[in-house]
Amino acid sequence: MTPQSGRESESTRDGESQSSGAGRDPNPTRRGVLLGVGLAGLGGVLAGCSTAAVPYDANEAGVPPNGPAPGAMTSPAAPGSGAMSSSPAPRGGQTSRAARKKAKAKPKPKGTVLGAASDIPVGGGAIFTAAKVVVTQPASGQYKAFSAVCTHVGCLVNKVTSGTIDCPCHGSEFKITDGAVAAGPAPSPLPARQIKIMDGQVILL
């Protein structure tokens, strides 16, 4: 009885060892290698994907139909990657044309436009009441400007005739050439004012 029980115990141990051995992987490193290769491939796929937000109707390059949004940052393509920039470089011709247009644009005159220079007759003048200025043209192309306020009691002069600027209050007269007193009672000449002629306009500086 004893030898038989010993054999039964031995057979039982052998069966347990065989059954336990059947549950183990004969190649324990194979599963680890496959798992490592799978993780490495997944990492490569994730690295190649962009995490930037792309508009719904963007094209394959990620650019919306109306162009990139203002202030959108574009990442430069890596050297040798073959990627093309979404915004073409400006053409030299277009840039130079725009620069020429800006250069040709005339600066806006500084000062107050009084009127057309053609409205001031040679040997006479014109009075601009709102600006309190009288502009004369003693000779062709020679323009002078003076205060239209008489130096006597502050009346505004009202006409330019026969080479003089006349005040209606007390009859004072001033020369159109330099504003000097031609007839009293005004005690001093009309103060000069600065003007310039630009694009056919008289501009008070």
The rounded distance, in Å, linking the Cα atoms of 47 and 87 is: 25
pLDDT at site 78:
47
Domain ranges in the chain are 120-204
pLDDT at site 57:
63
pLDDT at site 6:
46
Per-residue pLDDT reduced to its tens digit, 133-143: 999 999 999 99
The rounded distance, in Å, linking the Cα atoms of 164 and 134 is: 11
Q: Say if strands 112-116 and 125-128 run parallel, antiparallel, or are unpaired.
A: unpaired
Per-residue pLDDT reduced to its tens digit, 27-86: 556 665 566 655 655 555 555 555 566 666 666 666 666 666 555 554 444 444 444 545
pLDDT at site 137:
94
Overall pTM > 0.75: no
Q: What SS3 state is found at 139? A: strand
Query: Does 9 have pLDDT greater than 60?
Result: no
Per-residue pLDDT reduced to its tens digit, 147-197: 999 999 999 999 999 999 999 999 999 999 999 999 889 999 999 999 999
Q: Are 201 and 110 in contact (CB under 8 A)?
A: no
Q: What is the mean pLDDT of residues 94-100?
A: 64
Q: CATH 2.102.10.10: does it fit domain 120-204? A: yes
* Res. 144 pLDDT band, cuts 50 70 90: very high
Higher-confidence residue of 11 and 47: namely 47
- Give Cα 24 distance to the centre of its chain: 73
* Cβ contacts of 95 within 8 Å, gap of 6 or more: none
